[in-house]
Structure 1
Amino acid sequence: MKSHTPVGDQLIGSAVNALNQARINDEIFTLSRQDIAFDLAREQMQKVRDFVASPGNILGSMSTKHGEIAEQVEVAVRNSEQAIEERLQDASTFRATFESVGRTAPQDYLIDGMDVQSKFINGTNNNLVHVLKHMEAYPNFGKDGSFYHIPKDTWQEIQDVLDGKPVEGLKSSTIEAIKAKVAEIERQTQRPFADVVRPGVSDYKDVQLGKIDETLDKHDQELAKQNDAKRAEIIDDHQPSLAEGMRATAMGAAVGGAFALGTGIYRKYRDGKNIFRGDFDAQDWQDVGLDSLKGAAVGGISAGAIYTLTNYASMGAPFASALVTATKGVASLAHSYQRGEIGLDEFTDLGLIVCAESAIVGAMTVAGQALIPVPVLGALIGSISGKFMVTVAKSLDGKARQTLQARMDEFSRRLDAIEQQVLNRILSEFAALGELTKAAFNVENNRQLLEASITLAQAHGVDDDKIIKNADDLDAFMTA
């Protein structure tokens, strides 16, 4: 079986391209959903802006309107953060809501279906006084899982008092009063203070009428940062990865094995043996099976190389497949040339023929809609073929490389300005490769890709001595 079949490599390239495209499509889809979630989050914050834009509609005097503002901020910020974090597409699953809550009811809003009363009172001790008054009016509140929200900075001050930390501005009598009220809340509810009274998302000063616009601006900025972080996470999650490269390898091994099996059966059929009529003997099965194993091994390595080139060199899958085909073909010829089995002229002629099939694919893929006149098509393909050989046969001696370059120059001289532009456009694909081609075919870099082929062969019960396990085995197979 030839190790450089362009059709097989193009099949593998198509499979790898489908894998890449599925990842790209999922990234676009997920980013789109994240954008919708961010728009939903901004809608919640806009509701607060609309609410505070009409102070006359807010309950309380000018000095107490911040209480209802705090409620609106609490619900909006919580839901906005949830929308971004969970990539929500609508408001139906928000955990915080005012729905089914009367404006003067014992609770101000619901979080996860639990009643919450917001108490934003100036002064830590005064805040606890209002919590106890509410508990007196509604004796069951705080006992059944419902809880209170107080300003975040007030809650932290209480916690510092309970932890014995020094709190600036509090007299010892005030500290003792705070401790006594905390103990009373725990006695009445039989629950820890931190369960009954929890910090809201806002400090006391942040929800005042003169401060609220600045507070909302700050929340908008924080939400934008949170959304940017989620988008970056999505992009990072959809980068090419070793795990996906292994899947590409396994897929390439399957395609390569199946393709080799089909061609092997067809070759036997041309020799007069029909598998469906029971014409195969033990040797025939061994030949076809060995071809399939070789096809799987080469397919896996080819897929890994194509995956690398398409994802890290921005090459199209057909062009990457063509380069893989040329690399394998020229590598085999280079070994024969270096061992003295073929001469320089034969190596050059055969190499150009091997690369010509791949060059046609590269020309058609990269040139796109450019019209290539038939009289110069051969020269164009010859130029690309030579470039393929110069690129992949870096181990050749100086004489061989000079001969190849001379052939390439000869082809190029036959092209006019327009065709030369087409050639330059195609050859520019190579300029961005650097050492990537070498890396893609480096056995050590692709050790794990080779291991995938080993695992596949073992799973199918292949004899251990027939499995390619290392670089020496692979080299012997590729030059066989």
Structure 2
Amino acid sequence: MNTHTPVGDQLLGSAVDALNQARINDELFHLTRQDIAFDLATEQMQKVRDFVASPGNILGSMSTKHGEIAEQVEVAVRNSHQALEEQLQDGSTFRATFEGVGRTAPEDYRIDGFDVQSKFINGTHNNLKAVLEHMDSYPNFGKDGSFYQIPKDTWQEIRDILDGKQVEKLKSSTIEAIKAKVAEIEQQTGLPFDEVVRPGVSDYSEVQWGKIDSTLDKHDRELAEKNDAKRAEIVDNHQPSLAEGLRATAMGAAFGGAFALGTGIYRKYRDGKNIFCGEFSTEDWQDVGLDSLKGAAIGGVSAGAIYTLTNYASMGAPFASALVTATKGVASLTLSYQRGEIDLDEFTDLGLIVCAESAIVGAMTAAGQALIPVPVLGALIGSVSGKFMVAVAKNLDGKARKALQAKMEAFANQLNVIEQQILDRILAEFAALGDLTAAAFNVENNRQLFEASITLAQAYGVEEDQIIKNADDLDAFMTA
């Protein structure tokens, strides 16, 4: 027994299927975590809506309530985006928090454990003035890692002024006053302005009482778009890949080589030579080694083809494994037929037998839950086997095709009308799969896998004349 038998291919198919299923399960796991994270993110934004819904509980007049609103938005937006980025499952690790902060404390909230004072004042100069007034009241603020946050657009305007950019609608005297305030902040703290005063997530206008609802709607849309992008990224990261295809190929090669080695040793043992008693000659080792190399090559190609079919042709592992078995078997028979080693009748009969397993799996897959009468099975399997032969034997001559077609018609003639309908439906399902061998052994799909296998063999010190490097070498191994 070797790895190009139906049993070997089905074992490889099961292993490849397990590899695929592990990837699918991991995708579902991360999608579920992303859904939970998105729910947590939307909960943070809902807290702001609940806060705004009770204006009587917000400090200040209607014209100054935006100060506390800005604080709520800052914490909620930061935490909601953190939830999505890190797939948080609860809020225990949020970096922004109001916990442990008094409502009239020097700080308004904490970010990454540092105290933050929010200053949302109308006018850039006035905003900086408010920062300095707070520093007068709390001289250590801004020096110990604590910092101020001001409106995003206000901070950008200051940054543009410091960078020497043109700022519209500001008088030169106002610009000079702003520069003086920045210098004073840096002088008092001994730190760069950007470390002491940082931009918030909101512009000044976005947190005003009449604008806050539309601002929250905007943030909700951004969260939804970001979540969709994260989900798409998860799906994309769990698509079939070259790396995973290489793992499948390597797994198949390891299985094929080990299986061939074991059967080779057992075959020698039956011939009276025990490897453990030092009875192997140099020729025996060469035989076993060559069989192992062939087994590894066939196992790797088979696993790669099964991986391609299950992932790119939407085919179940049993069906894909059966197709790979049929492809290799018919390829060998075709070569024997072309060499004159078997005649036409033997070729078609043996080919139908080789394809029978694939036909049975394919018929059952396509039929689904339909009840197929037992008397029909033989003719049905024969018909589908013929379909497989036509699909996988691309180099059949006209005479062979006609003989095969005649056998398929003979099978079909044995069926009554209802049974013929069953067969037609199965064949239609089969046809819908398209060119199966093109999918399994597509050059574009498998070229990189093939090239990588050469590099792997060279890395392991396999002799150059024993490495499959081209189609002729592959054909020799497949038909040996």
TM-score scaled by length of structure 2: 0.94
Structure 2 CA distance for aligned equivalents of residues 98 and 272 of structure 1: 82
Contact 1:4 1:326 in 2 (8 A): no
Shift in Å, 1:429: 4.8
Is residue 437 of structure 1 aligned with residue 437 of structure 2? yes
Q: Which residue of 1 aligns with 2:166?
A: 166
- Name the SS of the counterpart of 2:116 in structure 1: strand
Q: Which residue of 2 aligns with 1:332?
A: 332
CA deviations over 1:179-230 (Å, ceiling 9, x no partner): 1111111111111111111110111111111111111011000000000000
Contact 2:4 2:298 in 1 (8 A): no
Please list, as runs of the form range in 1=range in 2, the aligned pairs for 1:178-257 lying within 5 A after superposition: 178-257=178-257
Which residue identity does 1:218 align to in structure 2? K
Q: Which residue of 1 aligns with 2:33?
A: 33
The farther-off stretch of 66-75 and 85-94 is: 85-94
The farther-off stretch of 98-107 and 458-467 is: 458-467
Shift in Å, 1:341: 2.6
Which residue identity does 1:97 align to in structure 2? T
CA change 1:66–1:194 in 2 (3 A) is same
Aligned residues: 480
Q: Which residue of 1 aligns with 2:13?
A: 13
Contact 2:322 2:358 in 1 (8 A): yes
Structure 2 CA distance for aligned equivalents of residues 17 and 3 of structure 1: 17
Structure 2 CA distance for aligned equivalents of residues 66 and 168 of structure 1: 25
Contact 2:366 2:430 in 1 (8 A): no
Structure 1 CA distance for aligned equivalents of residues 403 and 20 of structure 2: 38
- Name the SS of the counterpart of 1:340 in structure 2: coil
The farther-off stretch of 73-82 and 184-193 is: 184-193
Which residue identity does 1:178 align to in structure 2? I
The farther-off stretch of 271-280 and 143-152 is: 271-280
The farther-off stretch of 455-464 and 369-378 is: 455-464
Contact 1:332 1:479 in 2 (8 A): yes
Contact 1:132 1:185 in 2 (8 A): yes
Which residue identity does 1:70 align to in structure 2? A
The farther-off stretch of 159-168 and 75-84 is: 159-168
Shift in Å, 1:127: 0.7
Please list, as runs of the form range in 1=range in 2, the aligned pairs for 1:145-160 lying within 5 A after superposition: 145-160=145-160
- Name the SS of the counterpart of 1:409 in structure 2: helix
Structure 1 CA distance for aligned equivalents of residues 3 and 29 of structure 2: 38
Identity of aligned residues (%): 84
Which residue identity does 2:325 align to in structure 1? T
Query: Where do 5+ consecutive residues of structure 1 fail to align?
Result: none
Q: Which residue of 1 aligns with 2:63?
A: 63
Contact 2:2 2:8 in 1 (8 A): no
Which residue identity does 1:317 align to in structure 2? A
Q: Which residue of 2 aligns with 1:286?
A: 286
Contact 2:2 2:263 in 1 (8 A): no
Structure 1 CA distance for aligned equivalents of residues 418 and 101 of structure 2: 75
Shift in Å, 1:101: 0.9
Structure 2 CA distance for aligned equivalents of residues 445 and 205 of structure 1: 54
- Name the SS of the counterpart of 1:117 in structure 2: strand
Please list, as runs of the form range in 1=range in 2, the aligned pairs for 1:245-324 lying within 5 A after superposition: 245-271=245-271, 273=273, 275=275, 280-324=280-324
Structure 2 CA distance for aligned equivalents of residues 158 and 56 of structure 1: 34
Contact 2:2 2:295 in 1 (8 A): no
Q: Which residue of 2 aligns with 1:133?
A: 133
Which residue identity does 2:16 align to in structure 1? V
CA deviations over 1:34-80 (Å, ceiling 9, x no partner): 00000000000001000010000111111111100000000000000
Structure 1 CA distance for aligned equivalents of residues 26 and 421 of structure 2: 36
Structure 2 CA distance for aligned equivalents of residues 296 and 45 of structure 1: 57
Q: Which residue of 2 aligns with 1:409?
A: 409
The farther-off stretch of 459-468 and 76-85 is: 459-468
Query: Where do 5+ consecutive residues of structure 2 fail to align?
Result: none
CA change 1:285–1:25 in 2 (3 A) is same
CA change 1:110–1:3 in 2 (3 A) is closer
Shift in Å, 1:158: 1.4
Shift in Å, 1:399: 2.3
The farther-off stretch of 239-248 and 342-351 is: 342-351
Contact 2:391 2:436 in 1 (8 A): no
Q: Which residue of 2 aligns with 1:390?
A: 390
Contact 1:3 1:328 in 2 (8 A): no
Q: Which residue of 1 aligns with 2:77?
A: 77
CA deviations over 1:286-309 (Å, ceiling 9, x no partner): 333322211110010011111111
- Name the SS of the counterpart of 2:73 in structure 1: helix
Shift in Å, 1:408: 1.8
Contact 1:296 1:453 in 2 (8 A): no
CA change 1:245–1:424 in 2 (3 A) is farther
Contact 2:34 2:231 in 1 (8 A): yes
Structure 2 CA distance for aligned equivalents of residues 260 and 157 of structure 1: 74
CA deviations over 1:79-135 (Å, ceiling 9, x no partner): 000100111111111111111111111111111111110000111111111000000
- Name the SS of the counterpart of 1:446 in structure 2: helix
Shift in Å, 1:175: 1.4
Which residue identity does 1:7 align to in structure 2? V
Structure 2 CA distance for aligned equivalents of residues 191 and 422 of structure 1: 82
Contact 2:10 2:321 in 1 (8 A): yes
TM-score scaled by length of structure 1: 0.94
Shift in Å, 1:358: 2.6
The farther-off stretch of 304-313 and 456-465 is: 456-465
Structure 2 CA distance for aligned equivalents of residues 427 and 85 of structure 1: 48
Contact 2:74 2:201 in 1 (8 A): yes
Structure 2 CA distance for aligned equivalents of residues 224 and 463 of structure 1: 56
Shift in Å, 1:316: 0.2
Q: Which residue of 2 aligns with 1:375?
A: 375
Shift in Å, 1:332: 1.2
Structure 2 CA distance for aligned equivalents of residues 276 and 427 of structure 1: 53
Which residue identity does 1:334 align to in structure 2? T
Which residue identity does 2:225 align to in structure 1? K
CA deviations over 1:354-378 (Å, ceiling 9, x no partner): 1113323333444444433332221
CA deviations over 1:412-466 (Å, ceiling 9, x no partner): 3333455445544543454344345225325675344334544565566544433
Shift in Å, 1:475: 1.4
Structure 2 CA distance for aligned equivalents of residues 126 and 463 of structure 1: 79
